[in-house]
Amino acid sequence: MWPLPDQIPTGVGWEVGADGVAWLTLNRPAAGNAITGDQRETLIALLGEASADQDIRVVVLTGAGQRHFCTGADLSGSPGGSDATTPGSVARAVANGAQRLISAVLDCEKPVIASVNGTAAGIGCHLAFACDLVLAADSAKFVEVFVRRGLVVDGGGAYLLTRLVGPQRAKELIFFGDDVAAVDAQRLGLVNRVVAAGKLAATAADWAARLAAGPTVALSLGKRLVNRALDGDRATSFAEEAMAAEINMTSADGHEGLRAFAERRPPEFRGR
C-alpha cells in the first residue's frame, strides 16, 4: 500500500499536478535535507507509486530551501558501538537502505528530473546522479564526502560515477572528496544544465512539462534501454531494443504518433 497524503512524513513533500508532473521534495532544510530512515522508505514508496500511476508522467526531485539539495543520510539515530561491527550488519544496512533508494530512482518507470537547488553531499550526490536528467543552480555543489569521514563510497556511488565520468574521474572524485561546483559538474558530465538559482524551479517545470506531454511508454522503455546499455553485450542490447519497439507499438501513444505523422499534425500523447 502506498502512503496516503496524511501519512507522508513532514520531511517529504509530494504534490501531483493536473499536468502529470509529480514534485517530490526533501523538506528538512534546517537539517540540510538529510534523509532519515522513514524518509527513505517514503521516497521509495512514492517512486513506486509514480511507476504504477498512469496519471503521473514525470517526477521532479528537489530540496526545500536555497542552501541544500540533500546533505546525505541522517545518521543521528544510527546505532554505535559494537552494533556497527556485528558481522554483516553494515552490508545489510547499505543494501537495505541507500542502495534500495538509488535503485528506486533508477527503476522508476517515469522520467525523474533532479532539480539540485544547493549542496548535494554523500548519498545526496548519488540521489541526483541516479536521476535521468540533472538541473543544477549555479550556486549548487557536489561533494563525495565519504573519504572525509574515513568511509568507503556507498549508495551506488562507484556504479553511477564510473558510468557517468569514467573510472579515472570517478576515482578522483571518490579519493579526494573535493567540492565540485555546478559548472565543473556540468563539464564532467554529471549535470545536464546549470541555470541561475532564481530560474531553477521554472526550468525544471519547463523540462517536466515537455516530458509530461511526451509519449510516456516510449520514454520509459528508452530509460530502461539506456540504463542497461553498459551492463550487457551488443547482442543483448539489440534484442532488448527490438523487444522495446514491439512493446511500444502496443501503446496508444505509439499508434497516435504514427497517425499524427501520416495526418501531418502534432501528436497528442496521453501517457498510455
How many beta carbons lie within 10 A of that of residue 175, not counting itself?
11
The topology (CATH level 3) of 5-212 is 2-enoyl-CoA Hydratase; Chain A, domain 1 (3.90.226)
Strand partners, 113: 60, 133
pLDDT at residue 136 in the model = 98
According to the model, what pLDDT value does residue 75 have? 79
**Distance of alpha carbon 252 from alpha carbon 269, whole angstroms:** 8
Question: How many whole angstroms separate alpha carbon 3 and alpha carbon 64?
Answer: 20
The percentage of residues in the chain with a pLDDT greater than 70, rounded to a whole number, is 94
pLDDT of residue 82: 42
For residue 1, the model assigns a pLDDT of 39
**Per-residue confidence of the chain (272 residues) as pLDDT tens digits?**
344 555 676 799 999 999 999 999 999 999 999 999 999 999 999 999 999 999 999 999 999 998 999 999 997 755 444 455 688 888 888 888 999 999 999 999 999 999 999 999 999 999 999 999 999 999 999 999 999 989 899 999 999 999 999 999 999 999 999 999 999 999 999 999 999 999 999 999 999 999 999 999 999 999 999 999 988 888 988 998 898 889 998 899 988 888 888 888 999 998 88
What is the reported pLDDT for 25?
97
* Distance between CA atoms of residues 24 and 16, nearest Å: 9
Among the listed residues 269, 264, 267, the one whose alpha carbon sits nearest the alpha carbon of residue 253? 269
